Amino acid sequence: MASEVNIVRISKAYGAFKAVDEVSLRIRQGSFVSLLGSSGAGKSTVLRMIGGFELPDTGRVEIGGKDVTQLPPYRRDVNTVFQNYALFPHMSAAENVAYGLRQDRVPAGERRKRVRDALDMVQMLSFAHRRPTELSGGQQQRIALARALVKRPSVLLLDEPLGALDRKLRQQMQIELKLLQAQLGLTFIFVTHDQEEALAMSDQIAIMRDGRIEQLGSPTELYDTPRTAFVASFIGAQNFLNGTRIADTNRLEAEGAQFTAGRVAEGLQPGAKALGAVRPEHVALTRDEPVDQPNRIAGQVAAVVMLGDALEYLIKLEGDRDLISRVQRGRAAGLPNTGEAVWASWDAAHFNLYPHEDLQVQSSRM
C-alpha cells in the first residue's frame, strides 16, 4: 500500500552550513514527486531524512500518518534506490534482490517467488545469477530497483538513480519508471538535478534552492507560471531582459524600449529593477518590423543552430546582448540568414516580470 509522506518544518545544518532550512512538504499517497535542484540545494539531505539516514535538527517526518523521525532506516516502511546502486558485490543479482526478504524472514518458498517476480518485472530474470560486476550500468539499475521494490515498500526513494546512465538509456528508464509507478500505485520520491527528467516523470516538482523549497507545483505550473526568476531559469530555457518596472504598471523599460508583460511576480516593487522573461519558443522572428506587436526588438542573426525538430536562432541585440528564438522547422522558411537583420517579437501573455536577482551567480554556485 502506498502511503502519504508528510514533512513538517525539517532543518539540518552541517556546522554553519544550513543544508535544509525549515522544509515542509506533503506528498500525496501514490504520487510521483521530484525534488529538483542543483548540487548543495538540500534535496538529497531531505531524502536521507525520509529514509532515516540523517536525523533532522528540528521538525518531523511522518509516513502514513506515523511519526518516524527517530526511527532507524531498518524500521521504516521505505526503500531506497541509491545513486550508484550500492549493489552487494559479493552476491548475485538474485541474492541482492532476496536480501531484504531474508531480513524480514520471509519463508523460502514465498521469498523465491517474490524474487522471481521482481526480477521478471524489471526484465532481468535471465541475469539472475550474474554478479553486479558482470552487469552493465542499466542492468545494475534494474537490479537496484527490483531489490527495493521486492519489499513492497509504501514509499520508494530514488536518489539520482539515472545519473550514471547514458542519455538514450536514461530516457528509456524514465518511461519505464513512470509506467512502473503508475502500475504499482506507489509513492515515489525522486531526487534529480536534471530538469528534463523531473518534467518528464513527475506529478509534482519541488524546486529546491539553498535548503528551501522555492516552488512546488505540477510540471505545467512550473513551466508556465514560475513564481521567481530562479524557477523560470531553472525549468526550461529563458530569455531575460534587464530593466526597470515603470511605476506600478505591468510595463518594463529595457534595451531603450518599453515592453508589456502578462504577469508581474509577487514582490516586485513599483519602479524597481526588474527582469522580463520570455521563453525562446515564444519569440517570433520577422524580416519586417511587426508594428502591431508592442513587444518587439531589432537585432541581427548571429547563428542558427539545428536541433532536429526546431531551429534555434541566436540574435545579437544592440550592446552585444543575446536573445534566443526557437522556431519549428516548418515555419522557418523565408527567415533571415546568419548576418542579416531581424525583428524579434512576443506576446504580452508570454512575458513575465520578476524582481531582479543575480542569476549568473546562482547558476554557477555549487
Contact by Cβ (8 Å): 89, 80: no
C-beta of residue 143 within 8 angstroms of C-beta of residue 97: yes
Name the one range near other proteins by CB under 8 A: 58-66, 72-80, 234-242, 294-302: 72-80
Report the residue from 17, 26, 70, 72 that binds other proteins according to the rule CB under 8 A.
72
Residues 6 or more apart whose Cβ sits within 8 Å of residue 323: 239, 283, 297, 299, 314, 315, 317, 344
Euclidean distance between the first and final Cα of the chain, in Å? 38
Instruction: Rule CB under 8 A: say whether 34 interacts with other proteins.
Output: no
Q: Which is nearer to other proteins, 3 or 295 (CB)?
A: 3
**In the complex, least distance from residue 121 CB atom to other proteins, rounded to whole angstroms:** 14
Which of 15, 40, 42, 39 minimizes the C-alpha distance to 7? 42
Comparing CB distances to other proteins, the nearer of 15 and 308 is 15
Answer whether 203's CB lies under 8 Å from 216's CB: no
340 neighbors 301 (Cβ within 8 angstroms): yes
List 51, 161, 219, 226, residue binding other proteins (CB under 8 A): 51
| Shortest Cβ 147–other proteins spacing (Å) | 7
Cell numbers for 216, please give them.
512546488
Cα angle for residues 333, 337, 342 (degrees, 5° grid):
90
* Residues between 74 and 133 that touch other proteins (CB under 8 A): 74, 78-80, 82-84, 86-92, 94-95, 97-100, 102-104, 108, 111-112, 115-116, 119, 128-129
Distance CA 172, CA 311 (A): 25
**Taking the CB of residue 233, how many other CB atoms lie within 10 A of it?**
21
Q: Between residues 86 and 304, which has the closer beta carbon with respect to other proteins? A: 86
Tell me, by CB under 8 A, how many residues bind other proteins: 39
Q: Which is nearer to other proteins, 119 or 208 (CB)?
A: 119
Q: Is residue 240 a contact partner of residue 230, using CB atoms and an 8 Å limit?
A: no
For 143, the 3-state DSSP assignment is helix
Collapsing DSSP to helix, strand or coil, 25 comes out as strand
Question: Please, which residue, 37 or 51, has the CB nearer to other proteins?
Answer: 51
Q: Give, as ranges, the residues between 300 and 359 that touch other proteins (CB under 8 A).
A: none
Cα–Cα distance measured from residue 47 to residue 287, given in angstroms and rounded to the nearest whole number? 51
Q: Which C-beta is closer to other proteins: that of 65 or that of 107?
A: 107
Q: Given the complex with other proteins, which of 133 and 337 has the nearer CB atom? A: 133
Q: How far is the CB of 104 from other proteins (least distance, A)?
A: 6
DSSP-derived 3-state class of residue 248: coil
| Site map 136..175 versus other proteins, x via CB under 8 A | -----------xx--x------------------------
In the complex, least distance from residue 29 CB atom to other proteins, rounded to whole angstroms = 21
CB of 204 to other proteins, least distance (A): 24
> How distant, in Å, are the alpha carbons of 26, 219, 231, 280 from that of 32?
12, 11, 20, 28
Tell me whether residue 151 or residue 170 sits nearer to other proteins (CB atom).
151
* CB 87 to other proteins: min, Å: 8
Sheet holding 251-254, edge to edge: 257-260, 251-254, 239-245, 273-278, 352-355, 263-264
Query: Cβ of residue 310: shortest distance to other proteins, in angstroms?
Result: 37
Q: Which residues bind other proteins (CB under 8 A)?
A: 51-53, 72-74, 78-80, 82-84, 86-92, 94-95, 97-100, 102-104, 108, 111-112, 115-116, 119, 128-129, 147-148, 151
